[in-house]
Amino acid sequence: MKTAIILGGGPAGCQCALWLKMLGLDPVIVEKTNKLGGLQHFNPYQNNWLIGMRHTTGREFANNVQQHIEELEIIVLFNDTIAEFNALEKSFSVRVGKHQLETANIIIATGSMPRAEAIDLNDSIAVNAANQDYNERVKTRAVTLRGSRKWQANLPNVFEAHREKLLDKRGFIATDAHCLTPLANIYAIGEVANRMPPCVSTSMADGVVAAKAIQDTLT
Ligand SMILES: Cc1cc2nc3c(=O)[nH]c(=O)nc-3n(C[C@H](O)[C@H](O)[C@H](O)COP(=O)(O)OP(=O)(O)OC[C@H]3O[C@@H](n4cnc5c(N)ncnc54)[C@H](O)[C@@H]3O)c2cc1C
């Protein structure tokens, strides 16, 4: 049985996988694209907000994240997502493509997405990635959006049935201090949980918190 299936291979999901692996546990990352590193792949600028990573662009950081996960031989299922999950007595049965897996925990790390109804293309368009502005392709036009109130959790389809229970009134996944959601043994980390301010550091910190919380449940 796997310790955790981590849905989303951005900074939050990969940091969590790294810590679980270093703690001697057995994570699996499920990533819907063909690469790890999440939104940092869309950042061509130097990420000077990350201590120890100055002069490194977001893309270089993302590539480094992927190499680190590969070096540790953490299992990653690319180009896929969780199609179905069922709660068993003390675990989950999870279907990812043709794989049927059993896991003790599920960790949602799928980031955030623009709230379509809240977007006015004339509103706050700016080009300054280092100032909480995020490039995103909206209605076929590439723009930069400013303002966290225009964002919501990127809730995976498989959790739609649990939307009422999972989401807080701002549309992000509600979590406690250990990144645990209202659903037993399901955690949410990074931007999907509205960690503020939304950035690589806070997302990765969540990954550490969830990994340690899961380790604590095993002792
Ligand atoms: C242009 C730009 C510049 C930025 N500059 C900075 C900066 O300088 N400094 C800084 O700290 N932060 C910066 N950020 C913000 C930073 O990139 C994010 O805060 C951080 O990546 C959030 O990490 P995350 O893991 O929570 O989510 P994400 O990075 O969004 O990762 C989520 C991952 O989940 C995957 N996923 C989504 N849905 C599913 C699904 N259903 N199944 C499987 N996988 C799924 C996605 O493909 C992605 O890989 C920038 C962002 C952008 C866009």
- Distance (angstroms) between ligand 1 centre and the Cα of 214 equals 23
Query: CB burial class (10 A; 0-12, 13-18, 19+) of residue 57?
Result: middle
Does residue 9's CB lie within 6 angstroms of at least one atom of ligand 1? Answer: yes
Q: Is residue 114 lining ligand 1, measured as CB closer than 6 Å?
A: no
What's the CATH architecture for 2-111+154-218? 3-Layer(bba) Sandwich (3.50)
Overall average pLDDT of the 85-95 stretch: 96
Q: What is the mean pLDDT of residues 21-47?
A: 95
- Whether the pLDDT of residue 93 is over 60: the answer is yes
Predicted local distance difference test score (pLDDT) of residue 219: 81
pTM of the model: 0.90
Contact 110, 154 (CB under 8 A): yes
Does the CB atom of residue 207 touch ligand 1 within 6 A?
Answer: no
6 strand-pairing partners:
29, 107
Among protein residues, the one with the nearest Cα to ligand 1's atom 48 is 38
Query: Residue 86's beta-bridge partner residues?
Result: 93
Tokens of 110: 């799928």
- Residue ranges of alpha helices (H) inside 23-171 are 58-71, 163-166
CB contact set of 103 (below 8 Å; sequence gap of 6+):
1, 2, 3, 4, 5, 28, 91, 92, 94
The finding on whether 185 has its CB within 6 A of some atom of ligand 1 is: no
Beta bridge partners of 138: 141
The first and second tokens of residue 51, run together, are 């201590």
Looking at the chain, the whole-number percentage of residues with pLDDT higher than 70 is 84
- In the chain, where the domains are located: 2-111+154-218, 115-147
172 CB near ligand 1 (under 6 Å)? no
